[in-house]
Amino acid sequence: MTGVRVTDLVKDYTIRNGLKRTRHRAVDHVSLELTPGRTVALVGESGSGKSTIAKILTRMERPTSGTVEVRLDDGTPVTDQARYRREVQMVFQDPFASLNPFHSIEHHIARPLRIHKRTTTAEETRERVREMLERVNLTPAAAIAGRRPHELSGGQRQRVAIARALAPGASVLVADEPVSMLDVSIRLGVLNLLGRLQREDDLAVLYITHDLATARHFSDEITVLYRGRIVERGPADAVILDPHHEYTKLLAAAAPDPERVGAVRDAAPVDRDAIDSGRCYDHFAGEWREAGVPSANAGSAA
């Protein structure tokens, strides 16, 4: 299966204010690895650079520097643009905005099948669309296929988006906050669906979220991003239960605690500017390192 290695990734944006131009660094020397059958959760607040990394991985943005290397299971690098896009697919945050309201559900799933030449005839395409809908638990598939996005619930639309991402035969799935726009009652069902599909297809998954609870539930490894830099990484339980970096502790303190419903936490205001983003704690190595320096175990340690 396909894996992804991200090395020393940097993304700068130029901000114009009249005649003045300033540089904003959205991603600052990020390195990580996605391997088949494992999920890496990229955790951080809004503006930390999570979605920028997702766009670079799916080639919607170009990095300022650094490399994104995709290799097949035999070690062959993927250099062809069409093959890259087939192997690496994305599930967007808003399932309604990512689906064209003028087209049917069948059209949304059939189009990547035809573009990537996964089917040859109209009947084969129609049958494959129904198979994909059944895989994401949208039944009866024939009835769902003829509907349009506005005729489905938010959870159903996101299942369509997942089916569309997997239709080309993707081996790497970038899920950019795939449940944040959904009702709390159906989030677990969508995450369990992603988990099942990952096991069935041995997918490498990058799960982007600001929710530590779902990150721990769904991921094998958690990488914490703050101001474009990785400040903590390690096995999911280790990062959540034994956070070392001040920013990770801040995220953990802000997470809802079902054992303290209605309780008010007495805490002094946090000086965000005082949080050091220049250091990263690596649970795999059990040591602090300079932020931006890749871990030798990142992505390969279990």
Is residue 72 classed exposed, middle or buried when 0-12, 13-18 and 19+ CB atoms within 10 A define those classes? middle
Q: Is residue 300 domain-resident?
A: no
What is the overall mean pLDDT for the chain? Answer: 91
Span 7-47, pLDDT tens digits: 999 999 999 988 899 999 999 999 999 999 999 999 999 99
Domain assignment present for 296: no
298: in domain: no
Q: Tell me, what's the pLDDT at 75?
A: 85
Check the CA dihedral 147-153-154-160 and report its sign.
negative
Please determine, for residue 302, whether its predicted confidence score (pLDDT) is greater than 60: no
- CATH number for the domain spanning 110: value is 3.40.50.300
Domain presence at residue 295: no
pLDDT score, position 258: 61
| Residue of 128 and 263 predicted with greater confidence | 128
Region 184-190: what's the mean pLDDT?
A: 89
Question: Residue 185 has what pLDDT?
Answer: 83
Give the pLDDT confidence score for residue 260 in this predicted structure: 61
Residue-by-residue DSSP string for the chain: --EEEEEEEEEEEEEEETTEEEEEEEEEEEEEEE-TT-EEEEE--TTSSHHHHHHHHTTSS--SEEEEEEE-TTS-B---HHHHHHHEEEE-S-TTTTS-TTS-HHHHHHHHHHHTTS--SHHHHHHHHHHHHHHTT--SHHHHHTS-GGGS-HHHHHHHHHHHHHTT--SEEEEESTTTTS-HHHHHHHHHHHHHHHHHHT-EEEEEES-HHHHHHH-SEEEEEETTEEEEEEEHHHHHHS--SHHHHHHHHHS--GGGTT-----PPP-GGGS--SEEEETTTTEEEETTPPPTTTTT--
Work out whether strand 3-17 and strand 20-34 pair parallel, antiparallel, or are unpaired. antiparallel
Instruction: Report DSSP letters for 188-204, one per residue.
Output: HHHHHHHHHHHHHHT-E
Is residue 232 a part of any domain in this protein?
yes
Q: Select the more confidently predicted residue: 53 or 268.
A: 53
Number of domains in the chain: 1
Q: Would 159 be classed as within a structural domain?
A: yes
pLDDT of 73-130, one tens digit each? 888 899 999 999 999 999 999 988 999 999 999 999 999 999 999 999 999 999 999 9
Let me know if residue 176 belongs to a domain.
yes
Say if residue 299's pLDDT is above 60.
no
For residue 266, pLDDT beyond 80: no
Q: Is residue 263 part of a domain?
A: no
Q: What is the pTM of this model?
A: 0.91
Q: In terms of residue numbers, what domain contains 186? A: 3-254+271-290
